[in-house]
Amino acid sequence: MKYQHWYEFTFQKNKCSCSSKSKRVQNLKENLPKDDLDTAHARREKEYQQYKKREHTENILIAPPNLPLGYPTHGVQVLPLDTINLPGLQVNADLPKYTVSLEASLGILDILVNISGITKCQVYSKGEKNLTISTSNIRILNLILKSITYTSTVYDIDSLDIVKFTLNEHTAQIPISIRQPPMPRLHDPGKENNISDLVTITTKTFLRYDKLRVLLKSIRQYYPDMKVIVADDNDTPEKIDDPNVEQYIMPFAKGWFAGRNLAVSQVTTKYFLWVDDDFVFTNETIIEKMVDVLEATDLDLVGGNVAGNYFSFTLFLKEGGKDGDCLHWRKGTYYTIPGFPNCGTAAGVVNFFLAHTDRILGVGFDPKLSRVAHTEFFIDGLGRLRVGICSDIIIGHQRKVKPKDKELPEKFNKYKFFRKSNADQVRFKLGLLYFKNRLSCFIKE
């Protein structure tokens, strides 16, 4: 009973619960339309099963104790329809006779050595899914085992075969990854190693051309030749007169994440720097420092400090069963990055960050989120992106000035109307977390 109590306490406490009535806990299901509650859950479960099939979730393999078989437990990989030598196979046992068998499901097994002159040794089913070796000589047996090959017979970019390796009552399981590695996509930094060949600045503008022009002027003070891509969903577009600015006009009020997607999709450099249109470059906005961090680490994205706002957060996912998982949001970072004492790892950062273009395109910005959205991108990137933040890389923020003349208040109020999420938009956003990310609740701690 004591053991059972310890087991339940240790493991059941890690299961998430959304029963709390705290304002910090968002029960996401409550934001779905009432007439769609049951059918939405069923649709989500169907999509989740298809997702798991694509992701090829691996089963846990347990090795039996004192096994007299030597075999690889990890790291065996073969290209689709290719052949490899199956390494590490051996038997360590003193028996009068040895009968060893191997069984594959997604490939065939063969041997490289010629056994025609070897007496008292038989090999059955060469070149098939099942291979059996029978001999009384352990030295010959281990020689044959060293020569066994595995050939993939299934073309798939990412599959897993479990080969059974059996001696009498002893059985081992050998995981073989059938995988087509993705093609590299390399970006040429140029002969001069110019920062403008490595980085493109991206932003989105909406009803704030005055702010955008201040931003562009500050960029040109420090990076006169760097390309800037502007996604623009204003109702009355104004042409930006700058030879190094690419301005992409969108439908009016198309939205925040749609604009981000458009801007990043046009980047041709290895990295892009995301900035808001009301930021301003200063002598502390040193893009080269961000590049140094990404080049020296395996991070995909590194954020900075916005006018003293060194903001970052961490995300922790807890399993919640068929109702969905719980996502815990906390301020701060996970740990300090070795070699960069002013930088730490996180799950999300502010709207000032440098990122690997290809890695971000692999996550994308959900265009369903047209108004206030930020954390949602990093939720989509959880488990896909390595994120960092540095407090000593700083960009300025333009002062908020209330309009005084007669024309500006209308534009100011119009911007506030689009900038602020209403109750329906908030409910939609939370409902999207329920379905798309299979979450039961979102908890701010």
Question: How many CB atoms are located within 10 Å of the residue 318 CB?
Answer: 15
For residue range 162-180, list pLDDT tens digits in order.
Answer: 999 999 889 999 999 999 9
For residue range 219-242, list pLDDT tens digits in order.
Answer: 999 999 999 999 999 989 999 999
> Does residue 368 fall inside a structural domain?
yes
Query: Which of 24-28, 55-59, 291-295, 348-352 is the least confident region?
Result: 55-59
Cα 204 to the center of its chain, rounded Å: 24
Q: What is the CATH number of the domain that holds 240?
A: 3.90.550.10
Average pLDDT over residues 113-141: 85
Do 311 and 262 belong together in one domain? yes
CA dihedral 122, 176, 169, 123 (to 10 degrees): 0
Average pLDDT over residues 52-65: 68
DSSP string, 175-243: EEEEE-PPPP------TT--HHHHEEEEEEESS-HHHHHHHHHHHHHH-TT--EEEEE--SS------T
* Higher per-residue pLDDT: 394 or 404: 394
> Does residue 199 fall inside a structural domain?
yes
Contacts of 405 (CB under 8 A, 6+ apart): none
Query: Which of 79-93, 207-221, 267-281, 416-430 is the least confident region?
Result: 416-430
Do 436 and 300 belong together in one domain? yes
Percent of the chain with pLDDT over 90: 64
Average pLDDT over residues 83-88: 95
pTM metric for this prediction = 0.84
Average of per-residue pLDDT values in the chain: 88
pLDDT number for residue 343: 97
> Does residue 114 fall inside a structural domain?
yes
- Is the pLDDT at 403 greater than 70? The verdict is no
Report d(CA 365, CA 383) in Å as an integer: 16
Do 214 and 126 belong together in one domain? no
Report d(CA 278, CA 263) in Å as an integer: 17
What is the band of 120 on the pLDDT scale with cuts at 50, 70, 90? confident
Report d(CA 34, CA 30) in Å as an integer: 8
> Does residue 3 fall inside a structural domain?
no
For residue range 7-38, list pLDDT tens digits in order.
Answer: 444 555 556 777 777 778 888 888 888 888 77
> Does residue 50 fall inside a structural domain?
no
Query: Which of 11-25, 332-346, 407-421 is the least confident region?
Result: 407-421
pLDDT number for residue 1: 41
For residue range 206-221, list pLDDT tens digits in order.
Answer: 988 999 999 999 999 9
- Is the pLDDT at 442 greater than 80? The verdict is yes
Report d(CA 327, CA 204) in Å as an integer: 29
Can you give the residue range of the structural domain that contains 150?
A: 69-179
> Does residue 344 fall inside a structural domain?
yes
Q: What is the CATH number of the domain that holds 89?
A: 2.60.40
pLDDT number for residue 184: 87
Domain limit, last residue, from 179, 213, 231: 179
pLDDT number for residue 420: 65
Burial degree of 164 (CB within 10 A; 0-12, 13-18, 19+): middle
Report d(CA 255, CA 233) in Å as an integer: 7
Q: How many domains does the chain have?
A: 2
Q: Are 150 and 105 in contact (CB under 8 A)?
A: no
205's tokens: 């503008």
